[in-house]
Structure formats: structure tokens, C-alpha cells
């Protein structure tokens, strides 16, 4: 059989589109995907456990390695999300402003104010807080997470398995990425730990016994009340009564520091964080499709960096009466 131009007809490779070339491309994509996951896992441990202050350097190096893997596997810059720059800036800027408004309302309402008082932010000096908000978050966190999850992983998965799989898998991995930070958050934010344990934040769980100091104070008050009206032995005749010296006021009792969360409470905080950040990852993927990486990156920076600011300006809890 001859082709139209008289030459020999092209014979399709065995297996059609699933021939050796396609199989090689599939293996190359799987290798790139495994390499990207390995780079992200190593960076996660380094940034959260081994060298947190060096996170900007670690994240910049990991981002470069991820982009090299993606480009070597054949992904274009458009497939990686480096597109729609102006539109992404508009969308991300509007969402960042909405985050600022929501945070402002959150610290203004007493019922939600305590959730913003994160000890990780409150324990920092002003210079360190600025470093976190302006360097550690944008470069050490957002750069790697957006390029890694919404850029490289999303692009590799979308090419090999389609957009729905890219959204689902990259978002699930993004949720698991937050296991180590959530463990730290459980210890640094007692209000969230109490909420996860089913308690009223800042108070004891319903039906829980009072603390030892409270019990002691109650016992002392009961003893004092019981002594009122008890008959005193008559004084000897002619012996003038000596007024008792006024007792000094008792010093105020310092509030007890919050107890460390239990393993079960920490597990609940971690599970909630994984689920919520996985959902956020899916939302960020939607923004990426509409405005490239710029849109989710701006929202991500606002969510984290403004958290440091509002944690420091949130009014403290009023002292107990």
C-alpha cells in the first residue's frame, strides 16, 4: 500500500499511541513527579525541624531544583502557571485586602480574638516579627509551596492524568505538608488546642474539676465563712481585749500557664489542619487556573504574613475578676 504521494505508507507503531515513545514519556513524568515529592519532603523537614531560620535559602534552592525537574520533563512556563500575571495580581490583591478585613474583624470580636494570639508571633521581637512577615513567609514558605504544589506538581499531574487529578493529588499532598507545622501550632496556640479538645477556649471543659489553687481558695473561703458566728471562749474577767492586728492582704495569685496539649488534642489539631489546608489547596488551584501563580501567591502571603501583624496587635484577654 502506498501513500498519496506515492511513497511507502507510514506504518503505525505497535500499540498505537501507547508505544515505546509514550511509555518513555510516562516513565519520565513519573520520575519527575517522584523527584518533586522527594525535594518537597526534604525541604519540609529542613524548614520545620532542622534549620527553620535558613528556610528562605532552603526554599529558594528547592524551588530551583523543582523548576529544573519540571523543565527537564518538558513542562512549559505556561503549564507551570507563569501566566496571566496582571490578572493574577488583581485577583490576589483583592483577596489579600479581604483577608485584612477579616482579620481586623476577628481581633475586634472578643469571642474570636483569642484564636489570633499565637505564641509563636507574640514571643518574637519586632525585628524578628518583621523578618517572618517580610522574608520567611514570602520566600521561605509561599515561594516553595506555590511553585512546588500549584506549579510543578500540578503541571506534572495535569499533563499525565488531567486537571481533576492534578487538583485532588496536589491539594492532598499540600494538606500532608502541614503535619509538622500543625504540631507546633498545637503547642503555640492553646485556644485552638482547647477547641479541638471540645473545651471552651480559655476555660475548663464542661464538668471538669476546678484547679488545685481554685479548690484551695474555695476551701479557705468556706473555712472563713464557717468561723463567723462561732462562739469564742469568754475572756478572763478584767482582762482587756486586745484587738487583733489587721492581716495583710493576700498577694494576687499568678494565673497558671496553659497546660501542654495532650497527644489526642495534638492529633485533632493536626487532622483539622491537614483537612483545612487541603481544602485551601484546592481553592488555590482554582485561583491558579484563573490568574496563574500570582493570584494564590498573594492570597497566601496575606494569610500568613498578616497573621503575624494581627497576632501582635490583638488586645489581650481581660484579667479575671
- What is the structure's pLDDT at 191? 66
For residue 175, is pLDDT > 70? yes
- What is the structure's pLDDT at 225? 43
- What is the structure's pLDDT at 117? 80
* Confidence bin at 318 (pLDDT 50/70/90): low
* Confidence bin at 224 (pLDDT 50/70/90): very low
* Confidence bin at 231 (pLDDT 50/70/90): very low
C-alpha cell at 120: 509563636
Instruction: Report the sign of the C-alpha dihedral through residues 53, 58, 63, 64, in that order.
Output: positive
232-254 residue pLDDT tens: 444 444 445 555 555 556 555 55
- What is the structure's pLDDT at 198? 59
- What is the structure's pLDDT at 92? 97
Lowest-pLDDT range, 90-94, 184-188, 255-259, 277-281?
255-259
List phi, psi (to 5°) of 2: -115, 155
**pTM of this prediction exceeds 0.75:** no
C-alpha cell at 94: 483583592
62-73 residue pLDDT tens: 999 999 999 999
Residue of 120 and 252 predicted with greater confidence: 120
Across 52-56, 183-187, 312-316, which has the greatest mean pLDDT?
52-56
Give CA–CA dist 70/52, Å, rounded: 26
- What is the structure's pLDDT at 216? 40
Kindly report the three-state secondary structure assignment for every residue of the chain: CECCCCCECCCCCCCHHHCHHHHHHHHHHHHHHHHHHHHHHHHHHHHHHHCHHHHHHHHHHHHHHHHHHHHHCCCCCCCCCCCCHHHHHHHHHHHHHHHHHHHHHHHHCHHHHHHHCCHHHHCCCHHHHHHHHHHHHHHHHHHHHHHHHHHHHHHHHHHHHCHHHHHHHHHHHHHHHCHHHHHHHHHHCHHHHHHHCCCCCCCCCCCCCCCHHHHHHHHHHHHHHHHCCCCCCCCCCCCCCCCCCCCCCCCCCCCCCCCCCCHHHHHHHHHHHHHHHHHHHHHHHHHHHHHCCHHHHHHHHHHHHHHHHHHHHCCCCCCCC
- What is the structure's pLDDT at 246? 57
CA nearest neighbour of 47 among 58, 60, 62: 58
Matching residue, cell 501582635: 312
Q: What proportion of the chain, given as a percentage, has pLDDT over 90?
A: 55
Give CA–CA dist 174/168, Å, rounded: 10
For residue 256, is pLDDT > 70? no
Residue 170's Cβ-count burial label (10 Å; 0-12, 13-18, 19+) is buried
- What is the structure's pLDDT at 312? 87
- What is the structure's pLDDT at 244? 55
Q: What proportion of the chain, given as a percentage, has pLDDT over 70?
A: 69
Q: What average pLDDT does this structure show over 10-21?
A: 44
* Confidence bin at 194 (pLDDT 50/70/90): low
* Confidence bin at 181 (pLDDT 50/70/90): very high
- What is the structure's pLDDT at 250? 59
Cβ proximity of 35 and 166 under 8 Å: no
Q: What average pLDDT does this structure show over 30-38?
A: 95
Mean residue pLDDT of the chain comes to 80
- What is the structure's pLDDT at 273? 94
Amino acid at each position: 500500500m502506498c501513500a498519496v504521494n506515492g511513497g511507502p505508507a507510514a506504518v503505525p507503531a505497535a500499540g498505537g499511541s501507547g508505544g515505546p515513545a509514550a511509555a518513555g514519556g510516562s516513565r519520565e513524568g513519573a520520575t519527575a513527579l517522584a523527584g518533586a515529592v522527594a525535594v518537597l519532603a526534604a525541604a519540609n523537614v529542613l524548614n520545620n525541624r532542622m534549620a527553620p531560620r535558613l528556610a528562605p535559602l532552603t526554599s529558594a534552592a528547592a524551588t530551583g531544583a523543582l523548576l529544573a525537574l519540571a523543565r527537564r520533563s518538558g513542562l512549559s512556563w505556561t503549564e507551570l502557571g507563569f501566566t496571566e500575571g496582571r490578572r493574577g495580581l488583581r485577583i490576589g490583591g483583592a483577596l489579600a485586602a479581604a483577608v485584612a478585613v477579616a482579620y481586623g474583624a476577628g481581633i475586634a470580636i472578643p469571642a474570636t480574638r483569642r484564636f489570633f494570639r499565637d505564641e509563636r508571633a507574640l514571643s518574637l521581637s519586632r525585628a524578628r516579627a518583621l523578618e517572618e512577615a517580610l522574608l520567611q513567609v514570602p520566600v521561605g514558605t509561599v515561594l516553595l509551596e506555590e511553585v512546588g504544589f500549584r506549579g510543578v506538581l500540578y503541571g506534572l499531574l495535569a499533563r499525565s492524568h488531567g486537571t481533576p487529578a492534578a487538583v485532588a493529588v496536589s491539594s492532598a499532598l499540600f494538606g500532608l505538608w502541614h503535619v509538622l507545622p500543625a504540631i507546633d501550632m498545637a503547642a503555640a496556640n492553646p485556644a485552638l488546642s482547647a477547641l479541638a479538645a471540645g473545651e471552651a477556649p480559655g476555660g475548663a471543659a464542661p464538668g471538669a474539676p476546678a484547679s488545685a489553687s481554685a479548690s484551695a481558695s474555695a476551701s479557705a473561703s468556706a473555712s472563713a465563712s464557717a468561723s463567723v458566728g462561732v462562739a469564742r471562749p469568754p475572756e478572763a474577767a478584767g482582762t482587756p481585749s486586745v484587738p487583733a492586728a489587721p492581716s495583710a492582704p493576700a498577694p494576687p495569685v499568678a494565673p497558671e500557664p496553659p497546660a501542654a496539649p495532650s497527644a489526642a488534642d495534638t492529633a485533632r489539631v493536626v487532622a483539622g489542619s491537614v483537612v483545612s489546608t487541603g481544602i485551601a489547596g484546592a481553592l488555590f488551584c482554582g485561583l491558579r487556573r484563573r490568574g496563574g501563580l500570582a493570584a494564590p501567591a498573594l492570597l497566601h502571603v496575606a494569610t500568613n504574613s498578616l497573621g503575624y501583624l494581627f497576632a501582635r496587635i490583638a488586645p489581650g484577654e481581660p484579667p479575671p475578676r
